[in-house]
Chain A
């Protein structure tokens, strides 16, 4: 590999790294935005502590095999989250777009599927 090739590879690596960093930063911002939306709309049912119906349901359903607090789950998918919000699950009703917009739903997905934890 000549000097020019080495420089090209190095440049590519740097660009890739910067791309990853930018992507990570974007994802982190989306996840942070998602946390705000999640805290407003989801935490009253799916948070920790007493009297959270979504958490109570998850405890009964998974019996400890998965975290009952939704934000602690690492196996959630974008499709599953969107279906739950737009179609409802058990006692959880559908959420309209005047409540949770598509962009806000994407942000919730970014938060619940964020990596690393």
Chain B
């Protein structure tokens, strides 16, 4: 298979551009052979062995901001689309592969410097190639009393994950919200520092977010308006202790009181970490009798069966971080908030005090909520899983929304010929303040027909969710246009604004064309 060219770029021009990239970063950091460029393909592509798979033309890997400036200027001259990656581990959302075939991947993995970690004011300043593992190891080696907030996959980039608006588990769980200050290379090669970073010799770049004047940081998230080359992050002072308590309620309709109580303890700050609401019947070890009741019997039958097993119908885990005495008081207060629900049960989980010793650490199945990066999440699809992607709508934090969304999405599966109960269990998460996110697991397989089926279901879910007023917070490159088109209020006014900004900031349309449905003018007609 001949390597694709960037759209509209001749082979001689592309060769010239690659030579010029090499003069900037060195020949060894420009990848154009099949063997090297194939490493940038999406390992979990839902287009496995199909023509629609998005294939890069080449990759270039700078190691400092000045090189990024030169690369974007060369790309602008030849109108070559650049697809920026940080650690390239955005698996389930496209990995290191571009949104359009023929892009050159701008691989920032070599920019992996931890520029500052401040223990007294609890922040770090890092480059895009720094992973959660990297920063965690640095903090451990220096014996700093600081926590990071990793997402489930610890090999991701702090910058990449925050820009994709990913979430974790601790009180710093909203990763974009936890950032403070950026350095961005614009499409014309100019370097901008946001917030206090605009002040030469700023002393508070990582301590005060807003600086002076319009606050622009948000426009560089889930976007293609610039290449972020540095970012500050607020870190959590190492807490004294962690404790997780479980609230369990016996009836299907208890979801309303359960979620009302949850919203109260979250929004009042009594609980500051990510919680998950579980439908008990969807989890736990295989139980053929339970499976039979789920499909063919009434809600009352299911409630009675779960009660016989000593299980609630719904459970929610409440995590607490802080001084042990404060945690104990918070848990007592939370229990009072739920106590009026008939039959409610409370269960104490383990309490951990920090720092953990090696023995305690080895016993923890999933250390991520304790600020310790891990790859445990990759066991999610079973031992022979070949990949996955995620459908993740944001829904209101209400019992009504939980019930309605569950019914609506299950109906989509049924309508498309899947048996009831085939929908994977629905943990309903509070990764972000004030709203729930449901995260559906979609397997990606080395099977063209099954992948086509998954894509069909995925697109149907996007449409049905939009019809009900629910939108996705993030998605795989394969579905960016589908989801962007759902955000259509007032004749796509927000996306028309994005396009205005795109054309002003990137008139050659070189930065990640089509990222999150934002297309530059020269490619808009064909793709929008």
**B204 contacts the other chain (CB 8 A):** no
Chain B residues contacting A93 (CB-CB under 8 Å) are 43-44, 89, 91, 95
- How many A residues, CB 8 Å from partner? 25
Chain A residues contacting B29 (CB-CB under 8 Å) are 98
Known: A44-B154, A57-B384. A94 touches B39 (CB 8 A): yes
**A71 contacts the other chain (CB 8 A):** no
Contact indicator B383/A51 (Cβ below 8 Å): no
**A75 contacts the other chain (CB 8 A):** no
Q: Contact check: which of B364, B366, B384 meets A60 at CB < 8 Å?
A: B384
**Which chain B residue shows the least CB distance to A99?**
B109
Query: Complex: how many Å from CA A15 to CA B373?
Result: 49
Query: Complex: how many Å from CA A60 to CA B379?
Result: 12
Chain A residues contacting B89 (CB-CB under 8 Å) are 93
**B381 contacts the other chain (CB 8 A):** yes
Query: Complex: how many Å from CA A44 to CA B379?
Result: 12
**Which chain A residue shows the least CB distance to B109?**
A98
Bitwise, A8-43 to B at CB < 8 A (1) or not (0) is: 000000000000000000000000000000001000
Task: Tell me, rounded to whole Å, the shortest Cβ–Cβ distance linking B272 to chain A.
Answer: 24
- Say what secondary structure dominates the interface of chain B: loop
Known: A96-B96, A97-B39. A51 touches B374 (CB 8 A): yes
Q: Contact check: which of A40, A50, A60, A86 meets B362 at CB < 8 Å?
A: A50
**B378 contacts the other chain (CB 8 A):** yes
- How many B residues, CB 8 Å from partner? 42
Q: List 14 A-B contacts (CB under 8 A).
A: A51-B365, A51-B366, A59-B383, A61-B383, A86-B35, A91-B378, A91-B385, A91-B387, A93-B44, A94-B41, A94-B43, A97-B31, A98-B107, A98-B109
Contact indicator A88/B375 (Cβ below 8 Å): no
Among B96, B107, B155, B375, which residue has the most Cβ atoms of chain A within 10 A? B375
Bitwise, B140-169 to A at CB < 8 A (1) or not (0) is: 000000000000001100000000000000
Task: Tell me, rounded to whole Å, the shortest Cβ–Cβ distance linking A3 to chain B.
Answer: 55
Contact indicator B44/A50 (Cβ below 8 Å): no
Chain B residues contacting A96 (CB-CB under 8 Å) are 39-40, 59, 88, 96, 107, 109
Query: Complex: how many Å from CA A95 to CA B95?
Result: 11
Bitwise, B74-114 to A at CB < 8 A (1) or not (0) is: 00000000000001110100011000000000010110000
Task: Tell me, rounded to whole Å, the shortest Cβ–Cβ distance linking A13 to chain B.
Answer: 43
Query: Complex: how many Å from CA A91 to CA B388?
Result: 9
Chain B residues numbered 317-368 whose CB sits less than 8 Å from any CB in chain A:
362-366
**A69 contacts the other chain (CB 8 A):** no
Chain B residues contacting A99 (CB-CB under 8 Å) are 87-88, 109
**A81 contacts the other chain (CB 8 A):** no
Chain B residues contacting A97 (CB-CB under 8 Å) are 31, 36, 39
**B386 contacts the other chain (CB 8 A):** yes
Query: Complex: how many Å from CA A13 to CA B365?
Result: 54
**B18 contacts the other chain (CB 8 A):** no
**B126 contacts the other chain (CB 8 A):** no
**Which chain A residue shows the least CB distance to B107?**
A98
Contact indicator A53/B44 (Cβ below 8 Å): no
**Which chain A residue shows the least CB distance to B377?**
A53
